[in-house]
């Protein structure tokens, strides 16, 4: 986890391995997962779970 922000009782978590921005409601339920884009291109970490990981 890179960062944690509380906004109007809900919270957002910036996660480094996607990277993703995760939005949770006041009860802790995941509401939305946002991808990260740089100059219009989706940013993917080498540790992204959707990337092939050789042996």
**What are the pLDDT digits (tens) for 11-44?**
999 988 788 899 999 999 999 999 989 999 988 8
* pLDDT in the model for residue 51: 66
53: confidence class by pLDDT, cuts 50, 70, 90: low
Cα–Cα distance, 41 to 32 (Å, whole number)? 20
Domain positions in the chain are 3-42
* pLDDT in the model for residue 47: 75
* pLDDT in the model for residue 43: 86
* pLDDT in the model for residue 19: 86
Q: Pick from 10, 30, 51: which is nearest to 19 by CA?
A: 51
**Residue 52 CB partners (closer than 8 Å, separation 6+):** none
Helix (H) or strand (E) holding 21: strand 20-24
CB 3 within 8 A of CB 13: yes
């Amino acid at each position: 986890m890179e960062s944690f922000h509380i906004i109007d009782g809900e919270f957002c978590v910036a996660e480094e391995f996607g990277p993703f921005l995760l939005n949770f409601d006041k009860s802790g339920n995941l509401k939305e997962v946002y991808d990260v884009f740089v100059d219009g291109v989706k940013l993917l970490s080498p540790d992204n779970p959707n990337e092939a990981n050789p042996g």
